[in-house]
Amino acid sequence: MADRYQKLTSGGAGGFLAKRLGLPQPEPLRRHLPGAPAFPGPIVLGGQPSGRVQKSLHSQLAAAGAEVETGTEPRDGHRPDALVFDATGIRDSDQLHALHTFFHPRVRSLAASGRLLVIGTPPEHTTTAREAAAQRALEGFVRSAGKELKRGATAQLLLVAPGSEEAIESTTRFVLSPRSAYVSGQVLVVDGDRGGVPQSWDLPLEGKTAVVTGASRGIGEVIAATLARDGAHVVCLDIAAQSEQLRAVAERIGGSALELDVTAEDAPQALARELRERRGGADIVVHNAGITRDKTLGRMSRDRWDSVLAVNLSSVERLNDRLLDEKDPVVAEGGRIVCVSSISGIAGNVGQTNYAASKAGLIGHVRSLAPYTAGRGVTVNAVAPGFIETQMTAQVPLFIREAGRRLNSMKQGGQPVDVAEAVAYFASPASGAVTGQVLRVCGQGLLGA
């Protein structure tokens, strides 16, 4: 959907006026284009001498074709595309000055749509209380840096458990590339084995079967197209009322269509049977189907409450129970399950007690299910979109819509492809060390955790 304010303030008289008045000037974000380099510009890599990750990261980035610079002093006119600091060697608060030493002289030279990345250790994996405090301090630093960055740049914190240094490539490829255009101020944890390495990073899902619910339109349609772009055969699932649109989407991306009401009593068995007979199982399941029935709590009928919980949460639980059944699993070993939650499930929203409850429930589902599936190498994660430009948000009243667009560090709404890229990251066979996590795709929204 068009953001007329962004167009107005992007240059010319509108841009001049916005600057003089101190109004937000949203920067057009650089997003991934097929065939483009994974890393658009030079990456400056630094860290504590005792850091665990810098060596592995340097090798991975160089092998991926990145221009990596280490040990270089800041210089006039140099505009790095990314600043990366390995902070795993920071053992106590006295050493946190290393963050200032590295970033202070460089951060203002970061290129438009640049990336700031700090790599640390999960506090629960540290050996002393002082080290745990210092590593926890990294989160406050990164979240604040993300709110200071300009021109579409982002900041992330990657926590790497000891022994997982070789498992970070999928995550660093995501957070350092244009694929993470609308993700900022986030914390991701890499803990465990990397999973399978794709034969091609351009087609990481080649030979995989993916299922996307609610795939006939909106975010679900773009998720389906993105997974197909990455090589998967996508089973596009939606209700019969969306049949025409569903089949058009499936035909366009070279997938297949399945009409199914996820709330039907026999839906889990019907889906399992379809996947078994037609595809031999599934590698990726994306639970995207969702509805809203907004009313304030005092005006909300029981029917509005029940319908939202049934579609958004209970159906996901029932489908996963069947697809992950220990005696007859449909999701293959090493499979990926991704749930589409919402920022409403984290921060809440007026008139959405039912919707927010369902989306918060998905987060609880993901976090409780992940340890259960870990033995089979199956990861379970969630994405939580903020304000995304869709036909649904286009119908929101003007002033509420503008508030949704501006109440984040990037001062703009995201695009459906931003959610889809996050789903594709979780779906990658190389993301096996990332599970039980919730990634906000919200431009670092100013509300919520």
| Residue 342, phi then psi, degrees to nearest 5 | -165, 155
One-letter amino acid at 237 equals L
The CA distance from 282 to 25, in Å, is 44
Residue with structure tokens 């021109």?
151
Q: How far is CA 313 from CA 263, 265, 292, 306, in A?
A: 10, 14, 12, 10
Cβ burial of 371 (10 Å; 0-12, 13-18, 19+) is: exposed
Residue 71 zone, left/alpha/beta (φ > 0; ψ -120 to 50; rest): left
DSSP state, residue 408:
B
The CA distance from 75 to 53, in Å, is 25
Contact partners, residue 349, CB within 8 Å, separation at least 6: 355, 356
The CA distance from 402 to 351, in Å, is 18
For 17, the token pair is: 């006026």
The one catalytic residue in 5, 182, 355, 425 is: 355
Q: Is residue 14 within a helix (H) or strand (E), and if so which, with residue range?
A: helix 12-21
The CA distance from 138 to 95, in Å, is 12
For 193, the token pair is: 């084995």
- 182 catalytically annotated: no
Q: Quick check: helix, strand or coil at residue 148?
A: helix
Residues 194 and 225 sit within 8 Å (Cβ to Cβ): no
The CA distance from 95 to 84, in Å, is 17
Alpha-carbon torsion, ordered 325, 326, 331, 334, to 10 deg: 150
Contact partners, residue 321, CB within 8 Å, separation at least 6: 268
Residues 436 and 138 sit within 8 Å (Cβ to Cβ): no
Indicate the pairing of strand 379-385 with strand 256-259. unpaired
Strand partners, 439: 383
The CA distance from 407 to 361, in Å, is 24
Residue with structure tokens 């709404």?
413
Rounded CA Rg of the chain: 22
The catalytic residue positions are 355
